[in-house]
Amino acid sequence: MTVLARGSRGARSEDVRRGNLSTLLRYVHVHGPTARSRLTAVLGLNRSTIGDLTSELVAAGLLREEPGRPDRVGGEAAGGGRPSYVVAPQSERVQVLAVDVGVTHLSVARVGLGGAILSRRDRSYRRGTRRHTTVTAAITKISAELLAEVDGAVVVAGMGVAVPGMVRRHDGQVRQAPNLGWRDVPLGAALADALGLPVSVGNDADLGILAEQVRGAAVGVDDAVYLTGRSGLGAGIIAGGRPLGGRTGYAGEVGHLVVDPAGLPCHCGSRGCWETQCGEERLFELAARPAGGGLAGVREVVAAAAAGDAVAAAALEDVAGWLGRGTANVVHVLNPEMVILGGALEEVLRALGGTVRSAFDSTALAAPGEQVRIVAPHLGSDSTLVGSAELAFDPLLSDPLLTLSRRHAS
Ligand SMILES: [Zn+2]
């Protein structure tokens, strides 16, 4: 009994230590260089514990320490100006690859611990069905280019990938991505095989809200929805401070809420889905422009409307109205504090925010509607890419030393 009790205490203290290492590393990853004295206050641990944890993460190559400004207490230098060490992420030594697969674009970036995008490649495509093998090959080729920029001392902790579709999280299988024409594509496994890295794949809207919650508009907001409008339309949801995925992670397919049963056919096989009324393609159709213009095409419509093109202006007005009314439906279901409009929707909001808001107000029930902030993402069109990086860093942040030992062993 005594031995067991001692063993369980030992196991508990080891769990506490791992938890503290994770909390400290995650804090510095999110907040950047931080004085040790600040970590002591924020994490509620004493100076010597913070010193031990920091030393361990420095020895592992994840953090570095440098003398900071003298410690100040009440504006006065304490102890004759003793320096408080500043703890910073080793952004150049510990990195991930972040990928954003769009219908009309592909972005791949090398991102350092701490969240800095160190290097990136962006490709544009015309809209159309794209073979997953072609996309996998393109990601692999660009990743090799990005990895050739760094020396062998750099630890690449993994890859995160955003796709506009429904993803089975545990193995990165893309179950359905209607706008890419994909069904049951083993994207995660194919990339892991090709690159020899741990690969995590997520839905683009889910990763958009993740990024905005960690580093953007939704910092400190516990109930928020990120709507991404990039060809299709999807929602990433934070409810009560936690991601809301549903039973199998496929929640948030709000683009396929049917708003007009007699409406336009949708890629999903249904008719009159919300995204057929306010997605990019509807805007191009109404503005009499070629399909598949992507974000650049949306910006052209906005610029044309501003320059007096009546057809473009009417198209934007129509889409903005559907955006506001549909957003009210989302708010009725989820009662969020904030709705972030990403991708093409951000362009519509910036151009016609008044129309979006008045259509929203005329549709939404007063109680959940009146307090909702409808805002642009702070990370702009990079929300999903930044979210992919966060997804890739998560195992390392959750258990730094274990993940690092696995990477070194592989
Ligand atoms: Zn649909």
Beta-ladder partners of 336? none
User: Closest by alpha carbon to 186, among 133, 141, 128?
Assistant: 133
Q: Residue 353 Cα, ligand 1 centroid: separation in angstroms?
A: 25
Q: Residue 232 Cα, ligand 1 centroid: separation in angstroms?
A: 9
d(CA 176, CA 188): 14
For 306-363, how does the pLDDT look when each residue is reduced to its tens digit (9 = 90+)? 999 999 999 999 999 999 999 999 999 999 999 999 999 999 999 999 999 999 999 9
Whether residue 237 is contained in a domain is answered as: yes
Task: Please give the residue range of the domain that contains residue 50.
Answer: 2-89
Q: Residue 323 Cα, ligand 1 centroid: separation in angstroms?
A: 15
- Say if residue 316 is in the same domain as residue 246: yes
Whether residue 99 is contained in a domain is answered as: yes
Q: Work out whether strand 173-177 and strand 166-168 pair parallel, antiparallel, or are unpaired.
A: antiparallel
Q: How many structural domains are present in the chain?
A: 3
Tokens of 163: 């796709």
Q: Residue 275 Cα, ligand 1 centroid: separation in angstroms?
A: 7
Q: What are phi and psi of 107, to 5 degrees?
A: -120, 135
Q: Residue 192 Cα, ligand 1 centroid: separation in angstroms?
A: 31
- Say if residue 152 is in the same domain as residue 229: no
- Say if residue 27 is in the same domain as residue 50: yes
CA quadruple 318, 320, 323, 324: dihedral, nearest 10: -110
Q: The domain that contains 326 carries what CATH number?
A: 3.30.420.40
User: Can you list the positions of beta strands (E) in 12-104?
Assistant: 34-35, 63-70, 72-73, 76-77, 83-89, 94-101
Q: Residue 258 Cα, ligand 1 centroid: separation in angstroms?
A: 7
For 296-309, how does the pLDDT look when each residue is reduced to its tens digit (9 = 90+)? 999 999 999 999 99
Q: Residue 371 Cα, ligand 1 centroid: separation in angstroms?
A: 29
Mean pLDDT of 69-98: 72
Q: Residue 370 Cα, ligand 1 centroid: separation in angstroms?
A: 29
Q: Which residues contact 70 (CB under 8 A, 6 or more apart)?
A: 77, 78, 81, 82, 83, 84
- Say if residue 75 is in the same domain as residue 138: no
Q: What is the pLDDT of residue 74?
A: 38
Whether residue 238 is contained in a domain is answered as: yes
- Say if residue 229 is in the same domain as residue 337: yes
- Axis crossing angle, helix 47-59 with helix 36-43, rounded to the nearest 10: 120
Q: What is the pLDDT of residue 78?
A: 46
Q: What is the pLDDT of residue 189?
A: 97
Q: Residue 84 Cα, ligand 1 centroid: separation in angstroms?
A: 56
Mean pLDDT of 132-143: 96
Q: Residue 400 Cα, ligand 1 centroid: separation in angstroms?
A: 41
d(CA 288, CA 139): 33
Q: Tell me the pLDDT band of 70, cut-offs 50, 70 and 90.
A: low
Q: What is the pLDDT of residue 306?
A: 96
Q: Coil, helix or strand for 335?
A: coil
Tokens of 3: 């031995």
Q: Tell me the pLDDT band of 81, cut-offs 50, 70 and 90.
A: low
Q: Residue 125 Cα, ligand 1 centroid: separation in angstroms?
A: 22
Q: What is the pLDDT of residue 75?
A: 38
Q: What is the pLDDT of residue 152?
A: 87
d(CA 73, CA 12): 35
Q: What is the pLDDT of residue 304?
A: 98
End residue of a domain, out of 89, 104, 133: 89
Q: What is the pLDDT of residue 111?
A: 98
Q: Residue 278 Cα, ligand 1 centroid: separation in angstroms?
A: 12
Q: Residue 255 Cα, ligand 1 centroid: separation in angstroms?
A: 6
- Say if residue 120 is in the same domain as residue 85: no
For 199-233, how does the pLDDT look when each residue is reduced to its tens digit (9 = 90+)? 999 999 999 999 999 999 999 999 999 999 887 89
d(CA 273, CA 257): 5
The answer on pLDDT for 77 being more than 50 is no
Q: Residue 175 Cα, ligand 1 centroid: separation in angstroms?
A: 15
Whether residue 138 is contained in a domain is answered as: yes
Q: Tell me the pLDDT band of 6, cut-offs 50, 70 and 90.
A: very low
- Say if residue 397 is in the same domain as residue 362: no
Q: Residue 105 Cα, ligand 1 centroid: separation in angstroms?
A: 21
Q: What is the pLDDT of residue 1?
A: 37
Q: What is the pLDDT of residue 8?
A: 63
Tokens of 310: 């009546």
- Say if residue 229 is in the same domain as residue 361: yes
Q: What is the pLDDT of residue 5?
A: 46
Q: What is the pLDDT of residue 69?
A: 63
Q: Coil, helix or strand for 174?
A: strand
Q: Residue 104 Cα, ligand 1 centroid: separation in angstroms?
A: 19
d(CA 130, CA 320): 29
Whether residue 304 is contained in a domain is answered as: yes
Beta-ladder partners of 228? 234, 342
Whether residue 212 is contained in a domain is answered as: no
- Say if residue 175 is in the same domain as residue 228: no
Whether residue 364 is contained in a domain is answered as: yes
Q: For 29, how many CA atoms within 13 A lie in the half-sphere containing its CB?
A: 27
Start-to-end C-alpha separation, the chain: 39
- Say if residue 18 is in the same domain as residue 60: yes
- Say if residue 252 is in the same domain as residue 356: yes
Q: Which residues contact 295 (CB under 8 A, 6 or more apart)?
A: 104, 105, 230, 343, 344, 347, 381
For 101-132, how does the pLDDT look when each residue is reduced to its tens digit (9 = 90+)? 998 899 999 999 999 999 999 998 876 667 89
Whether residue 25 is contained in a domain is answered as: yes
Mean pLDDT of 150-177: 94
Mean pLDDT of 25-42: 95
Q: Residue 228 Cα, ligand 1 centroid: separation in angstroms?
A: 15
Q: Residue 230 Cα, ligand 1 centroid: separation in angstroms?
A: 14
In the chain, what percentage of residues exceed pLDDT 90? Answer: 80
Q: Tell me the pLDDT band of 12, cut-offs 50, 70 and 90.
A: confident
The answer on pLDDT for 251 being more than 90 is yes
Q: Residue 272 Cα, ligand 1 centroid: separation in angstroms?
A: 7
Mean pLDDT of 161-181: 92
Q: Residue 261 Cα, ligand 1 centroid: separation in angstroms?
A: 11
Q: The domain that contains 70 carries what CATH number?
A: 1.10.10.10
Q: Tell me the pLDDT band of 184, cut-offs 50, 70 and 90.
A: very high
Q: Residue 213 Cα, ligand 1 centroid: separation in angstroms?
A: 27
Q: Which helix (H) or strand (E) holds 227?
A: strand 224-230
Q: Residue 21 Cα, ligand 1 centroid: separation in angstroms?
A: 44
Q: Which residues contact 202 (CB under 8 A, 6 or more apart)?
A: 160, 161, 162, 163, 167, 169, 210, 387, 388, 391
Q: What is the pLDDT of residue 13?
A: 86
- Say if residue 228 is in the same domain as residue 323: yes
Q: Residue 178 Cα, ligand 1 centroid: separation in angstroms?
A: 8
Residue scoring higher pLDDT (22 or 84): 22
Tell me, letter by letter, the H, E, C secondary structure of 230-270: ECEEEEEEEECCEECCCCCCCCCCHHHCECCCCCCECCCCC
